[in-house]
Each structure stands twice: as structure tokens, then as C-alpha cells.
Amino acid sequence: MKPVLKFVLGLLLVGSAQAQSVVTLEQCYAAALANDPLSRQREIVRQTGELNVANLEKNRRLPQVGVNGQASWQSEVTKLPIELPNVPIPQLSKDQYKLTADVSYALYDGQQTTLQKQVQRAGTAVSLQQVAVDQNRLKDQVNAYFLNSLLTDETARLTRIRLEELQNRIVKAEAGVRFGTIATGSVDVLRAEVLNAEQQLGQLAATRRGLRDQLAMLTGVPIMDSTRLVVEEAQTAVANLVVNRPEQKLFDTQRTLLDAQLRLINNRLQPRLSAFAQGGAGRPALNFLNNDFRGFFIGGIRLSWNLSSAYTLRNDRTVLALNREQIGVQQNVFDRNLALQLRQQQTEIDRIVALLEKDQEISALRSKIRQTASVQLDNGTLAARDYTSELNAESQALLNQKTHELQLLLAKVQYRTLTGN
């Protein structure tokens, strides 16, 4: 056997010579999600949401503190319109200064902070679910690499069987040439087919390695030549599946966000009550008749009620209602497209099942024909070219059967993926 062929066969058979590790399709799903860069984005979104909620809580629980300063010059100042003999009346300076520290604490905010936290949490839930929708597309990539790798393995196995049969035929044909029962050209035909089989094995080895490397890069799981890929039986069950797509949860979280935003909008008409204190120094201070720099303090309770927020309240509610309607339209479009995809996938499953019903009969007949041709070749009543045609036909029939079996497996897995299971 040629050194190149030995190397190729070594790559393809290394799994049988060593203890095989097993990687399942479900494990690849989980590993791909964990290895996806979007997993870090999920953590970023969650931490950002928690920090924003904490900020709202602190702003509600702690007093608001500010420092303000002002220096001004004015063209005219207040003065008393009287003059008393021998009594000097102080006059304010046109340049005035003030430095204050202001403290306020909300005694009653109409539950504004509580509603703001609800809006923030709902917005975080929407962002997290959008990441889940984006990550769900990873399953399609895993399915492609995983199942195409299985198909490549099966094709290589059948090619090796064909190669072994050809090599056995060559040994018998060479014996027939020595005894004069078979023409020398028949051996050359068989050797040409051997070269074709070796070439196919070389291509399959490269394809196999590429698919496994891509699957390893996607999942972060080492997929060696000896690794056995297995699809669990649970991943092929398609009966009585309930649709559980992340897009549906996304629509629900978007509606929850709109509900929270509506409650916050309605809350704008609530009055606010707060305590305040102001201390500082300036010229003039609280006594406008004193032109000296003096300290001062003011404290009390403040009531505020922004009635002008009612101007746009109706329009704001209408905007939210339209947004809710838009979400409903998007969900209807998604449900319709999903129903079409599921129907198409079920049709594909039925088509492959119908093909498999005949594949076994075809493979059995092709094997029977090839065995008859083998006897005829040994007896010198059949040309080697005709025998290789029958051998290739048998190999193709077996490959078609295995291909359809894997296609059925892929179709069922894709059906489950479409339903979100």
C-alpha cells in the first residue's frame, strides 16, 4: 500500500485504534453558547441593568446635595425712598455675591422611583432576550458542522469498503492473468478504480478535518480525529413538540416594558413633596438692608405638581399603544413564517422517509448484482470495466441509503431547532 494512502487511512481509522472520546450534539449546543462572545455581552447587559437600578435606589434613599455660587453686578439696587435727618440709611452695593449649599430629600415622589426601576428591569430583560435570540442562531451552525462531519465519516467508511473489495479483486485478477483466464487490461481497469478510491479518501480526510476544526472553533471543545460524534435519540424526536422560540419570549418582554413605561407616564401627574435646606453666605444675605457679608440658612417643605405634563399625556399613551400594535404585527409575521418553515421541514422529513423505504431494497439488489458480477469476473465472462460499474453502483446505492439516513437525522434536528427545543 502506498505511504500516502497509509497516512490517509491512519487518519480515518485512528478512532478505532485508540480509546474514543464522545461528544454529543447537546454538548456542542451548550459549549457553543458558553464559547460565544455574546455570552460576555449578556453579563455586561445584566451588570449595567443592576447598576442603573442601584443608582435609582440611591437617588431615592439619599438626599440630593448641591453647591451653587453666583457673582453679579446690576445697574440699580433697592433703596428706601425716604431721608431722615442725622440717620444714615444703608445702600446696597451693585456688585452682589452668594455661595450656598442646597440639600433636598424627597418625602413623597408618587412612586416615581419604583416605576423607574420597573422600567429599567424590563429594559434589561428585553436586552437579555435579544442576546438569546442572536445566540439561538448558533444551533444552525452546530447542526451543519456536526451532521456534515457524520456524513463525511460514513462516506469514508463506504469508500474504504469499496477500496478493500477492489484490492481483493486485483489479487484474484492477477492470478487469472497468470493462468491466462483474464486479460491484462482488466487488472489496469481495477487499479485505476483503486486510484480513484484513494483520491476520494484523501479528499474526505481533508474535508473531515476541516469540519471538525470548525466545530472545535465554534464550541471551544477539542474535536480530535478519534472523537466520536453522537446524536442523542432525544434530539431526533419530533412528535408533540411545543414551540419554545426565544423570539416569542422577546415579544413578551417588549410588551412588559411598554406596560412599565405606561405606568411611568401616568405617574407624571402625581404631586411631589420634599424637604429642603439651604445654607450659605453672601452680600446681601437674607436681610437686604444689610450690605455686609453674612451667613444665612433656609429650611422647609416644598410641594411641586407639574400639571403641564398633561399636555402630551394623551399622545404619549397613543405612541405606546402603537408600539404595542407594532409588536403584535411583528409576532404575527414571525408566527406565520415559523409555521411555513415547520410545514416545509415536515414535508422534507416525509420525503426522506419515502426514499428510505426503497433504499434498502435498492441496496440489496445492487449487492446481489455485484456478487454475480464478481463471480463472472473470476470466470472470465465479464470485463473488469463492467464489474467496476456494478461495484460503483452498489457503493452509490449504499451511500445514498446512508446519506438519506443522515439527511433524515438532520431534518429532525432542524425541526426541533425551529421549534426552539
Domains and CATH numbers, the chain: 3-75+91-419 (1.20.1600.10)
* Cα–Cα dist 419/235, whole Å: 12
Nearest CA to 186 among 394, 378, 368? 378
* Cα–Cα dist 135/141, whole Å: 11
Nearest CA to 4 among 150, 194, 208, 185? 194
pTM of the entire predicted model = 0.75
* Cα–Cα dist 421/413, whole Å: 9
pLDDT 10s per residue in the chain (421 long)? 444 334 333 443 344 434 458 999 889 999 998 899 888 888 999 999 999 999 999 998 999 999 999 999 988 887 777 776 776 777 788 889 999 999 999 999 889 999 999 999 999 999 999 999 998 888 889 988 998 899 899 889 888 888 887 888 788 777 777 766 666 677 788 888 889 889 999 999 999 999 999 999 999 999 888 889 888 876 667 777 788 889 999 999 999 999 999 999 999 889 999 999 999 999 888 887 788 889 999 999 999 998 888 888 899 999 999 999 999 999 999 999 999 999 999 999 999 998 988 888 888 888 888 888 888 877 777 777 787 888 888 888 888 888 888 888 888 888 888 888 7
Chain position carrying cell 480513484: 196
CA atoms within a 13 Å half-sphere pointing along the CA-CB vector of 128: 19
The helix (H) or strand (E) run that includes residue 114 is helix 112-136
* Cα–Cα dist 5/8, whole Å: 5
**Contact indicator for 154, 188 with CB cutoff of 8 Å:** no
* Eight-state DSSP code of residue 94: S
